[in-house]
Structure 1
Amino acid sequence: MTEERPSGNESVMWLGNVGEPYKKWDNGLYIQGNLCGIPVNFLIDTGSTATLIPTSVFHSLSSDYHLTSNSRRLLDVNGNEVKVQGRTELGILIGDTIYHTPVTVCDINGDAILGQDFLLKHITRIDYRKLALCTNTGDIPCWLGGETQMVCKVSATETTVVPPFSRVGVRIYISGSTHLADAGLIEMTTDTFADQDVLLLPGIVNTRMEEKSVTIVNFGSVPVTLYPNMRLGTCESYYEEAAPDIVQAVTSAEYNDNHSNNQEVPPHLTDLLERSSVHISADERRQLALLLTKYENVFSQSSSDLGRTDRVQHRINTGTAHPIRQPTRRLPFGKRDIEKAELEKMIERGVVETIK
């Protein structure tokens, strides 16, 4: 079936997205506004030529607003006609600013839509990296509708000095954390501390907690100062499942009670200890040696010394992507001996097993 656009002088408004309720994988860009005291979420739709308000939202407003007849047809992205109730002008409160704009009231589900008419008049730029609408008076923060698509800014909440060759816990604020899953993965961005020997340790946080913190490590020889609202990294939704006791807190006292002060470690961990001791003190090296010795059985001694665990379940979120199927391909003769040798090694290790 092909779509035929109306011809002649017929006036038509085109709608890119009719604003369905949020879904886990929705990548639509949203902002929060207010109409006469009623909170309304607006979908930013550059494919819609008009700003649209659902009929249900309009009926919730004061009776002071009246609709005028509309002579233009409203078509969605597939060319289907959407029923229009009429047009009026409303003041949309976004942040501290009221934007007076014409709106079309129509029968759509879910969110209201900010169309091209609003964007061309009030918005100078859409910053997808910062998730913000840029105006002449400031930025309007946005969020992505699907929690799997949302990437939130992680910033410091107070001034903190990180001494040389040390690590410090820093209290943080996650902008837009209400649009993430209950667990969030915090990581450092590549440009956060580009010219400094500073590292934000990746970690999992409970996004619903009021007070959250991260660990900042300073490998340099000069102090590093973090300021309020300073960008430290990003936070995304995290869905991996682990046993509740998978992470254990072990104190220095426990090390001393169970181990001697000998800093020697098993031979297969010597290189790891040396590489990890470059930027730490002698006392920290001693504690690291004790820790490695205590858990030496969880480290592989060679490429053939592989272990297994049922403590963690790994999931790969593929979203709405469909599985693909490809035919098998013959291996070149020159590589078949290599393949046979590798398979035999994997069978010996118990990684794979033969099928009889």
Structure 2
Amino acid sequence: MKKHNFSAGPSILPEVTIKNTAEAVVNFAGTGLSVMEVSHRGKEFTAVMEQANKLFKELLEVPAGYEVVFLGGGASMQFCMVPYNLLSKKAAYLNTGTWASKAIKEAKFFGEVVEVASSKDKNYNYIPRDFDIPSDVDYLHITTNNTIYGTEIRKDMDVKVPLVADMSSDIFSRPLDVSKYAIIYGGAQKNLAPAGLAFALVREDVLGKVDRPIPTMLNYKTHIDGGSMFNTPPVLPVFAALQTLNWLKSNGGLKEMEKRNIRKADILYSEIDRNRLFKGTVQNVDDRSIMNICFVMNDDYQDLNAEFLEFATAQGMVGIKGHRSVGGFRASVYNALPEESVKALVDVMQQFEKKH
């Protein structure tokens, strides 16, 4: 039976990424050695890092003045790295979910934090709008896609302060105007690579403005100057990331990814809205994520939760159980998930509807 991987993360990767990485684990670049055991400063792996850096910038059409670094520690490490490097006195945060809340908690160690708006009042099932941003903050932090709650900010904000974005789960899913951001960061385990790798795209002119001493490993400048090689990088995820970046380029880049992702999301949301057994947790169409689609049993069918999960799992649907804070179901439809899998889930939902 074919498995359809809707896991929220670690999540589905392109088949070519898995194949090429598996081969490199056995024999990397013709060296006769595994990518896991060669020197990260050898010419073979240095070439991987350079190519990954170049393609990352090319796909996002990164303007001059920005550098990308590949780091360990995941996006959660960035929750403290951002304020360590940028927060002098006060920062603004938009609270749209669990990960935004965690970022706010870390920032409070470094200065005053202004929560400009929050959707906590409705269990984060919408994106706040029309909020005021103080003009004297060092930056505004947003989480563009909320994996747990299924909301997404899909337009690049126009703000008059430096904009920092956690794009862990929607990076490379659409074209961006990078010039509107001071820092874009994220974990790689959604649309890029296996877990264990984080990226940060940093506009260099926002650095060097805080008075506090910054520990070497938490200083963006350290990793920019070191070409992501100040210490041993997570070599296997970096190699896998390069395979995914090559796959993105060969499949038409980010404009094509956005078309595919919108089409997949439309197919599933249409079924959720049509099927009498289900309802979406995010009612405002403009706030719905095209990466993480959350839905629950309709009010009259709450007793069918466990039965549907068992029914869907038996037909090859993997990872569709919703997060415990929302319940119900979640289908993560990242770049590498084929449209075929979305249609298979829709078919399962329709079969279940007929059954009841």
TM-score (normalised: structure 2): 0.21
Larger radius of gyration: 1
Q: Which has the higher contact order (CA 8 A, sep 6+)?
A: 2
Q: Which has the higher strand share?
A: 1
Higher share of residues assigned helix: 2
TM-score by length of 1: 0.21
